[in-house]
Amino acid sequence: MRAGPQTFRGDDPEAAREAALLAQLRAGSAEAFETFVRVHGPRTLAVARRFLRNEHDAQDAVQEAFLAAFKSLHQFEGGSRVSTWLHRIVVNAALMKLRSQRSRPEDPIDDLLPQFLEDGHHARYPPEWQERADVLLERREVREYVRECIDRLPEGHRSVLLLRDIEELDTAEAARLLGISETAVKVRLHRARQALRTLLDPRFRKDAS
C-alpha cells in the first residue's frame, strides 16, 4: 500500500526537513538524492563496517542499502525516523552479504565458554575486573579492543551480539533478520556474551599486569 504523507510535530524541525527531503526524493530530485547520501552515508557505512571486515564489502552493502531504500521509498510511512528505517536496511544488506560469503563451517565456540562441574558450579569463577565495564568503555582504546575481540567470535554468534548489544535490535527483529527462532537468538546471545567475557578477561581482570 502506498504511504500517505509523513506527519510530524510542528516544533520538530528535523522531522520537517526529513518530510521535505522525502517528498523531493519521491519526485525524483537528483539534488535530494545527493543530500540523502551525504547525510546518511557516514552512519550507514559505520554500521556496515561493524558486520563486514572488508572495506570493499562494507561499501558494497551501503550501496545496496541505498538502492533498496530508494526502491521502497513509497513504502516508508513515516512511523520512525528515516535514519532508523535506513539502519534496518543496511543491517539487512550486510547480513545478506555475510550469508553469500559463508563457505566453510564456523570455528567452535565451546573453548571460550565457562566450564562447569557436575554439581553445576563454575569450574573456575570469572575473575573480577579492575573497573566496571561501563567505566572501561568510556575509553576509546578499550572500545577498539572490545571490537577486536568481538571480531574473533564465530560469525553466527558475532552477528547476534552485534544485532542485540551494538545495534540494539530486539530479539524478534534479530531473529527475523537472521532467519532463526527467537529462542536460538537468546541462546546464541548468551553464549556470545560468555565467550566475549573470556576473551576480555586477560586484559581487564584485577590481577592483569
The domain limits of the chain are 13-101, 110-204
pLDDT band at 110 (very low <50, low <70, confident <90, very high): confident
pLDDT band at 124 (very low <50, low <70, confident <90, very high): low
How do residues 50-76 score in pLDDT, each as one tens digit?
999 889 999 999 999 999 998 888 878
Structure confidence at residue 192 (pLDDT):
95
Q: Does CATH place domain 110-204 in 3.40.605.10?
A: no
96 pLDDT more than 60 = yes
In the numeric block, which cell numbers belong to residue 209?
599486569
The architecture (CATH level 2) of 13-101 comes to Orthogonal Bundle (1.10)
Mean pLDDT across the chain: 82
Structure confidence at residue 8 (pLDDT):
42
Residue 163 φ/ψ region, left for φ over 0, alpha for ψ in the -120 to 50 degree band, beta for the rest: alpha
* Higher per-residue confidence, 162 vs 128: 162
Angle between the N-to-C axes of helices 55-71 and 82-101, in degrees from 0 to 180, rounded to the nearest 10: 130
Q: Name the 3-class secondary structure at 161.
A: helix
How do residues 140-198 score in pLDDT, each as one tens digit?
787 888 889 999 998 899 999 999 999 999 999 999 999 999 999 999 999 999 999 99
Provide mean pLDDT across the span 90-106. 81
Q: Where are the alpha helices (DSSP H) in the chain?
A: 13-26, 30-51, 55-71, 82-101, 133-136, 140-151, 155-161, 171-178, 182-204
